[in-house]
Amino acid sequence: MSKKKTERPKPADVKYDNASEYVTFVVHTAKYRTLPTKKYLSRKKWVNQEPGNILATIPGTIYKIYVKKEGKVKKGQLLLELDAMKMYNKLLSPIDGVVKDILVEEKQKVPKNQLLLVIE
Amino acid sequence: MSIKRKSVDLKKRMQDALQGGGQKAIEKQVAMGKMTARERILALLDPDTFHEYDLFVEHAGKDFDMDKKYLPGDGVITGTGTVMGQPVCIYAQDFTVAGGSLGYMHAKKITKIMDHAMKLKVPIIGINDSGGARIQEGVNSLAGYGEIFWRNSIASGVIPQISVILGPCAGGAVYSPALTDFVFVVDKISKMFITGPEVIKTVLGEEISMEDLGGARVHAETTGNAHFFAESEIECFAQIKKLFEFIPWNNTRKAKPFPVKQPKTRTYKIDEIFPTDARKPYDIRDIIKALVDSSEFFEVMELFAPNIVIGFSRMNGETVGIIANQPLVLAGVLDCDSSDKAARFVRYCDAFQIPILTMVDLPGYLPGVDQEHAGVIRHGAKLLYAYSEATVPKITLILRKAYGGGYIAMASSHLRADFVLAWPTAEIAVMGPEGAANIIFKAEIQAAENPDEMRKKKVAEYKKKFANPYVAAAYGHVDAVIDAVDTRKFIIHALDIAANKSVHVPQKKHGIPPF
């Protein structure tokens, strides 16, 4: 604002004179200069999940794990139970395969979407 | 007993009830930086207009020794008064009495004053400051909430319902504000959540402060639950009074007209504010201010989804609701949040006979996996639905970009806008010139010796032919292409002649909007 003393500052200049806050934003190949929102900047990037990656469907506590590392599992087999919202929630295997990794222990608290087991 | 002694007895009883939770509890309330329930009512209403009812109501708790306890007014103050000379019904939960907890009689007082408001067709203001359900009263306290929610739903669109969150509002209690028209929050005082930080920590192991979980700023910026954010309670009350200047008292009346005042066109010069290059940002609120009475724009949900701007102004003395894309933020795109925000505002204006002025300058919908998965189809559809269904006068002004689905959604003539005006800078097209040229001239660009050169040439060609308002005007999709300086005149005239508009809608119980 200081450099524009002789001119009456436009209302837009008063609030948004910090040009470094602007980003280039692409919508359908056209580029726009604009301000980002906090929500936009903190949005989650999409990552492809392997079908054998077992994620926590709901935040809760691991109640019981029914499989062992390197053990064979069949599609639909019970892998573990997740104690959440006053229920024991069953997680079943989506594929036939072998348990490659178990990343959690019984009684461990997990947030939603945490990777629990890997089946290949 | 003489009447004099009877009235001395009355005064004594009143004194007991008026003290609320007592001196200690009041001191605690003040220490938290909060006003007491009674102070709040008096600060909000016109001086000397508050009349209280149900002061002597007693609580209905029987178990856990509750029958031995006295809770003045059962933790809520109810009554009537005026705001700017117009009648309102009001209640304020008193945190100093049992934490403002909601028991059976507490809820009865609230539902009684809500019933009054509906009968008298006046606004209802609810000041929330409560620890939640009174556990000792068990299921009766749940019944109380349910009765309030039902009334909120039935009164919706009939009388204005204002919720003011001035303390905790947790668990089921949050759903009453969520059902009302406007929610006011105050920094560091308002707290709203379904499950508090402690439950979240014990059940899920996630640690978060109350402020970060459900503070005023979170609801004003992130969740969109709150419509107005203030730094202090006094500022909050000023905002409520300001809102009442713009809205009608019920759905059968029009908002109060004000003396006409011209916009401050010397401060807000359109040719200085407005870049004709569609890729350059500007603050749409400055254009709004260049057009409306005394350049006054009362913005609603300023901090949530700022890529669309909504709020109230006056045109020729009459209230209008304004919905405008904001090129300054995220290029003004429509996304889940902005569609939601605008759609609800359209429905508010339609319910209360407020004409809608839509200002269009957007590149389309926000691309991205997060948007698609968050349901941009479902949320975006809300805006189409709301605009199509609205029968109030709908005036649309296209300033620059109006591309693709965004063009249709922003009150196009196809959704029955009464008048669609466009500035000569408008670009009404299926998509931006770059994207369109890339698709239409794909073969030619690829075959060219210098594809970049060819692309530039073809983009320029397309721009010249289609990036203007005249193609849409040629088919009558736009009613008039107007000079920017004539905008106010055109809008006022359009509002004027659309004032008695009547629309035939097929008989139905109600539609099924994409909630």
- Chain B touched by A19 (CB under 8 Å): no
Q: Which residue from B132, B143, B115, B130 is spatially nearest to B76, judged by alpha carbons?
A: B130
| Predicted local distance difference test score (pLDDT) of residue A13 | 43
Render pLDDT for B379-405 as a digit per residue (tens, 0 to 9): 999 999 999 999 999 999 999 999 999
Render pLDDT for B107-146 as a digit per residue (tens, 0 to 9): 999 999 999 999 999 999 999 999 999 888 889 999 999 9
State how far the Cα of B237 lies from the Cα of B247, in Å rounded to an integer: 16
Q: Note the pTM of the prediction, 2 decimals.
A: 0.90
Concatenated DSSP letters of B27-42: HHHHHTT---HHHHHH
| Predicted local distance difference test score (pLDDT) of residue A14 | 41
Q: Which residues of B touch A22 (CB under 8 A)?
A: 281
B contact residues 37-66, partner A, Cβ 8 Å cutoff: none
Q: Which of B286, B330, B370 sits opposite A25 (nearest CB)?
A: B330
Yes or no, beta carbons of B331 and A12 under 8 Å apart: no
Q: What is the mean pLDDT of residues B56-68?
A: 86
- How many angstroms separate the most distant Cα atoms in chain A? 79
- Chain A touched by B308 (CB under 8 Å): no
C-alpha separations of A97 from A62, A71, A116, B182, B265 in Å? 22, 9, 16, 54, 72
Q: Which two tokens stand for residue B264?
A: 């401050």
Inform me whether the pLDDT recorded for B348 exceeds 70.
yes
**Contact of B333 with B339, CB cutoff 8 Å:** no
B contact residues 367-406, partner A, Cβ 8 Å cutoff: 367-370, 373, 403-404
**pLDDT-derived band at B72, boundaries 50, 70, 90:** confident
Yes or no, beta carbons of A59 and B282 under 8 Å apart: no
- How many angstroms separate the most distant Cα atoms in chain B? 110
- Chain B touched by A16 (CB under 8 Å): yes
Q: What is the mean pLDDT of residues B13-26?
A: 90
Inform me whether the pLDDT recorded for A5 exceeds 60.
no
State how far the Cα of B494 lies from the Cα of B237, in Å rounded to an integer: 34
Q: Which residues of A touch B289 (CB under 8 A)?
A: 11
Q: Which two tokens stand for residue B229?
A: 């954010």
* Secondary structure string (H, E, C) spanning A45-81: CCCCCCCCEEECCCCEEEEEECCCCCCEECCCCEEEE
Inform me whether the pLDDT recorded for B406 exceeds 70.
yes
Q: What is the mean pLDDT of residues B323-337?
A: 95
Residue, of B126 and B445, whose pLDDT is higher: B126
For chain A, give the mean pLDDT. Answer: 82
Q: What is the mean pLDDT of residues A38-44?
A: 85
C-alpha separations of B494 from B351, B415, B501 in Å? 20, 17, 11
For chain B, give the mean pLDDT. Answer: 94
Q: Which residue from B244, B260, B495 is spatially nearest to B352, judged by alpha carbons?
A: B244
**Percent composition of chain B: helix, strand, coil (DSSP 3-state, to 5):** 45, 20, 35
Q: Which two tokens stand for residue B259?
A: 């003396």
| Predicted local distance difference test score (pLDDT) of residue A8 | 45
Render pLDDT for B277-295 as a digit per residue (tens, 0 to 9): 888 899 999 999 999 999 9
Q: Which residues of B touch A29 (CB under 8 A)?
A: 432, 434-435, 438
Distance from the B21 Cα atom to the nearest Cα atom in chain A, whole angstroms: 36
Q: What is the mean pLDDT of residues A72-100?
A: 92
Q: Which residue from A4, A43, A45, A15 is spatially nearest to B326, judged by alpha carbons?
A: A15
Render pLDDT for B227-279 as a digit per residue (tens, 0 to 9): 999 999 999 999 999 999 999 999 999 999 999 999 999 999 999 999 988 88
Inform me whether the pLDDT recorded for B205 exceeds 80.
no
The alpha carbon of residue B451 and the mean position of all alpha carbons in its chain are separated, in whole angstroms, by: 49
| Predicted local distance difference test score (pLDDT) of residue A18 | 58
For residue B450, give the amino acid letter.
N
Distance from the A86 Cα atom to the nearest Cα atom in chain B, whole angstroms: 10
Yes or no, beta carbons of B273 and A12 under 8 Å apart: yes
Render pLDDT for B297-314 as a digit per residue (tens, 0 to 9): 999 999 999 999 999 999
Residue of A7, A32, A89 to mutate, interface with B, max B Cβ within 10 Å: A32
Yes or no, beta carbons of A30 and B363 under 8 Å apart: yes
**Contact of B394 with B437, CB cutoff 8 Å:** no
| Predicted local distance difference test score (pLDDT) of residue A111 | 85
Q: Which residues of B touch A25 (CB under 8 A)?
A: 330-331
| Predicted local distance difference test score (pLDDT) of residue B410 | 97
Inform me whether the pLDDT recorded for B172 exceeds 50.
yes
Inform me whether the pLDDT recorded for A12 exceeds 70.
no
Inform me whether the pLDDT recorded for B322 exceeds 90.
yes
Inform me whether the pLDDT recorded for A3 exceeds 50.
no
Inform me whether the pLDDT recorded for B152 exceeds 50.
yes
| Predicted local distance difference test score (pLDDT) of residue A87 | 87
* Residue B220 dihedral angles phi and psi, to the nearest 5°: -80, -30
Distance from the B278 Cα atom to the nearest Cα atom in chain A, whole angstroms: 8
Yes or no, beta carbons of B433 and A30 under 8 Å apart: yes
Distance from the B138 Cα atom to the nearest Cα atom in chain A, whole angstroms: 20
ipTM of this complex: 0.75
State how far the Cα of B12 lies from the Cα of A119, in Å rounded to an integer: 75
**A-B interface: how many C-beta pairs under 8 angstroms?**
100
**pLDDT-derived band at A48, boundaries 50, 70, 90:** confident
Q: Which two tokens stand for residue B480?
A: 């008039």
| Predicted local distance difference test score (pLDDT) of residue B247 | 97
Render pLDDT for B254-268 as a digit per residue (tens, 0 to 9): 999 999 999 999 999
**Contact of B66 with B74, CB cutoff 8 Å:** no
Q: Which residue from B487, B494, B492, B490 is spatially nearest to B274, judged by alpha carbons?
A: B487
